[in-house]
Amino acid sequence: MASDLKFAEYVRDQAGGEGEITFRKMFGEYALYCDGKVVAFICDNQLFIKPTEAGREFIGNPVEAPPYPGAKMYYLVEDLDDRDWLAHLIRVTAQALPAPKPKKPNLRKRN
């Protein structure tokens, strides 16, 4: 089951407030970005946060689950109603992740 746009928008709105929060559709699901870094995935209308030590410390005892078959374990966030808590979790996760790699220039010749 793919995630729906309304759920992705809800997550984005709930996570806002501590950085620029955006999302992008990928393979029927969504990647959630904070200030240009992928911090989470929205799969089957569930939120999966990338695992970091800072995120683990903030959550305390996170529920871990793979966002899709064969994926590594992520932190499954089941309660999305506490906007301040979710925004802070997204922020500490983004701060703990490395900056995105710069995109390679397109070297194909244009005719």
* CA neighbor of 99 nearest in space, from 18, 22, 19, 36: 36
- pTM of the complete model: 0.87
Q: What is the mean pLDDT of each run of 10 residues along the chain (111 residues)?
A: 90 88 92 94 96 97 94 95 95 92 73 58
81: left (phi > 0), else alpha (psi -120 to 50), else beta?
alpha
CB 86 within 8 A of CB 77: yes
Listed by start position, the domains of the chain span 5-96
Contacts 24+ apart (CB under 8 A), 7-12: 7/42, 7/45, 8/32, 8/42, 10/80, 11/40, 11/42, 11/47, 11/80
Domain range 5-96, CATH architecture: 2-Layer Sandwich (3.30)
pLDDT value at residue 18: 74
